[in-house]
Structure 1
Amino acid sequence: MIRQRAENAVKVLILLAIGGMAGAAAFTHVHDLTVAHGQPNWIGWANAVAVELMAIYLGLEIRSRRRAGRPVGFVGVLLVAFSLLSLAAQVAEAEPTVWGWIVAAVPSLAFLALVKVVLSSAPAAPAVATDEGLEAVDEPNPEPVTVDPEPVREPVIYAPVAPPARPAASAVLPPLGVVHPTRPGVVGVIR
């Protein structure tokens, strides 16, 4: 229990260190590229925040949509687009050599890999209250839930019912050639 907590604390510290440094490098490259192409300093930072935080947000959105069973296609395309923007800024600020491009791409790729690992991690095991506090429970083979089937209902048999008798046409229609009292202009009924 204590070892697990210590391990989790170390993971969080590593996560924060890598995320902070990679994020700072990626933010700086996007900012510098924006300013180098004629934009004011504050717009450089605004672009850096928009590009880098959008990738994190879209990763979170994909995770929540998957849990809800909703489609993730469009959000996934946006994540790839913003990731490519970040990566392009890294490479554009690099020395124009293969190694310069690779080294410049490392912060962006590390940041995106970190986001992917964090967002794809499995949820924690449920906690159970004990005398010493909460303890995680690992249930590798949970008991299957059985559901009693609905009781069998006896079929209901309906007796055929004859359709109601229809009156003969002569009982409903007036005789031929007789003027109907409510319609003086109509003579008889066409049969």
Structure 2
Amino acid sequence: MRPILRPDAVLVQAVIAGALSFAHLHDLASAAGQSGWKAWAYPISVDLLLVAAWRRLRTDGPSRLAWCWFLIALFASLGANVATAGFLDLAHPPAWLRFGIAGWPALAFLGGTLLAHTASDPTPATAVPEAAAPVLEVERDPAPAPKPGPAPALVVDDTPALPVADPAPDPATAPAPAPAMSVPAALVTHARKVADDHQSRTGFPIDTDTLRARLGVPAPMADAIAAQLT
């Protein structure tokens, strides 16, 4: 499907304004003594410098360099539009106009070169980690070894040791035996069928964890059922 071309009022206005500014710059350069293709090169140079500065502002952010050359190109374009409106006698242009037109190529070349080859935000230098402070090691004299003294006398006790009976556990602190968990007979019967089926399929008796998973009962009840199956 071919795209439908629709007129854009902003684009049409930009084309008209650009064409008028281009013509004014050409007329001003021609009146200042630049004839032939040189008179047409001046408006191209001014407009390209203006576009380059604006693109630099849009891509790299505001900077003094881009703003400086943007204002210079804008002043050149605006000055040409005003000068051709009858404020200057283009039949007898003043000397300063001839001087400005003649020096514009060098100025535009300098601006374009700076905009193209000057970094807007230089890469920050890599932070060098600070060296650790040297640790001052102090060498200490070793402690003097103790002087050997006389060996202690060995005393042998010939008294036979009496057997010591183990203390009886305190009935108050002794753990009470866990009450036996009652398991319904129907559940034991079902568990026995599950155990027989597991042994017939695998050849091994069923373990407690598998029995608990198959029956869906808590661990204490599974232990009680497994005790009744043995």
Q: State the TM bucket, normalised to the shorter chain.
A: 0.3 to 0.5
Instruction: Identify the structure with the greater strand proportion.
Output: 1
* TM-score between both structures, scaled by the size of structure 2: 0.36
Specify the structure having the higher radius of gyration (Cα).
2
Superposition TM-score, scaled by structure 1 size? 0.43
